[in-house]
Amino acid sequence: MNRLSLSKIFWGFNGSMCFYGITRGYRIKSYYDDKPLLFTDKLFSAITCGYIYGLPIVNLMYLKSFIDRIEIHTKGLNNEIYKDSYKEMTGICDKTF
C-alpha cells in the first residue's frame, strides 16, 4: 500500500466517525431531566460530538463504545446495565445506530 491509499483510509475513517458523532450528538437526551432539548442545544451538541468523534486517537475510545453498543444490541442485553456505553459528552443517546 502506498501513502495515498493509507491517507484515504485514515481520512475516510475519521470523516465517517465525525458524521456518526454528529448524528449521535443530535439525538441525545439530557442527563438531568426528560425535558425535550431545544434545537440549538441539539445543534451545538451535534457539532461538539462530531468534532470529538472526528479527532484521531481520541475517536478510538468512541469506536470502542460503538463496538460495545453493537454487541449489546446483537446479544439482546439490557441497555440499562451498560449505561456507560451510551453516554456522550453532553447527554445520553440510548440508540445503538
Per-residue pLDDT of the chain (97 residues; tens, 9 = 90+): 677 888 999 999 999 999 999 999 898 888 787 788 899 999 999 999 999 999 998 888 888 988 999 999 999 998 888 888 888 877 888 777 6
Nearest residue to 51 via CA among 15, 85, 87, 86: 15
pTM above threshold 0.85 = no
pLDDT at 89: 79
pLDDT of residue 17: 92
> What is the Cβ-side half-sphere exposure of residue 23, based on CA atoms within 13 angstroms?
9
pLDDT score of 33? 79
Alpha-carbon gap, residue 8 to 27, rounded angstroms: 29
